[in-house]
Structure 1
Amino acid sequence: MPPPRDGEGRIERFTRAERYVHWATTVLMLVLIATGAILYNDQLAIYTGHRQFVAVVHLYCGFALPVPMAAGVFSKAYRADARRLNRHTADDLAWLRQRGWKRGRVRERGLKVGKFNAGQKLNAAFLCGSILVMAGTGTIMWFQGLASVSMRTGATFVHDWLALAIGFDIIGHVYFAVGDRHARAGMRRGTVPRSWAEHEHELWAQEIADQEARAGLDGP
Structure 2
Amino acid sequence: MPALTERPAPVRHAERLRRFTAGERWVHRATAALMGIMLLTAACLYVPYLAELVGRRSLLVTLHEWAGIALPAPLLAGLASRAFRADLGRLNRFGPQDRGWVRAALRGHHRPSEKFNAGQKLYAALVAGAALVMIGTGLILWFPSLVPLLWRTGATFVHDWIALLIGVLVIGHVWMAARDPEARRGLRTGHVSRAWARREHPLWEEES
Q: Calculate the TM-score normalised by the size of structure 2.
A: 0.90
Deviations 1:157-192 (A, max 9, x none): 111011111111011111111111111110111100
1:100 CA drift (Å): 6.9
> Are 1:160 and 2:160 an aligned pair?
yes
Number of residue-to-residue matches in the alignment: 196
Q: Which residue of 2 aligns with 1:200?
A: 200
- Aligned AA (2:22): R
Which runs of structure 2 are paired with 1:24-103 in the superposition (5 Å)?
24-99=30-105, 102=108
- Aligned AA (1:148): P
Q: Which residue of 1 aligns with 2:143?
A: 143
- Aligned AA (2:135): A
> Are 1:174 and 2:174 an aligned pair?
yes
Q: Which residue of 1 aligns with 2:5?
A: none
Q: Which residue of 1 aligns with 2:191?
A: 191
1:21 CA drift (Å): 0.4
Identity %: 49
Structure 1 unmatched runs, 5+ = 1-7, 209-220
Distance 1:148 1:116 in 2: 43
Distance 1:101 1:64 in 2: 39
C-alpha root-mean-square deviation of aligned residues, in Å? 1.6
SS in 2 for 1:140: helix
Distance 1:188 1:100 in 2: 30
Moved over 6 A (4+): none
Instruction: Name which one, 1 or 2, has greater alpha-carbon Rg.
Output: 2
- Aligned AA (1:192): V
Shift in CA distance, 112/47, structure 1 to aligned 2, threshold 3 Å: closer
> Are 1:115 and 2:121 an aligned pair?
no
- Aligned AA (1:40): Y
Q: Which residue of 1 aligns with 2:15?
A: 9
Distance 1:146 1:158 in 2: 18
Q: Which residue of 2 aligns with 1:216?
A: none
Q: Is the 8 A contact 1:101 1:119 kept in 2?
A: no
Structure 2 unmatched runs, 5+ = 1-13
- Aligned AA (2:116): F
Q: Which residue of 2 aligns with 1:213?
A: none
Distance 2:62 2:17 in 1: 42
1:150 CA drift (Å): 1.0
Q: Which residue of 2 aligns with 1:217?
A: none
1:41 CA drift (Å): 2.3
Distance 2:170 2:57 in 1: 25
Q: Calculate the TM-score normalised by the size of structure 1.
A: 0.85
Distance 2:27 2:63 in 1: 20
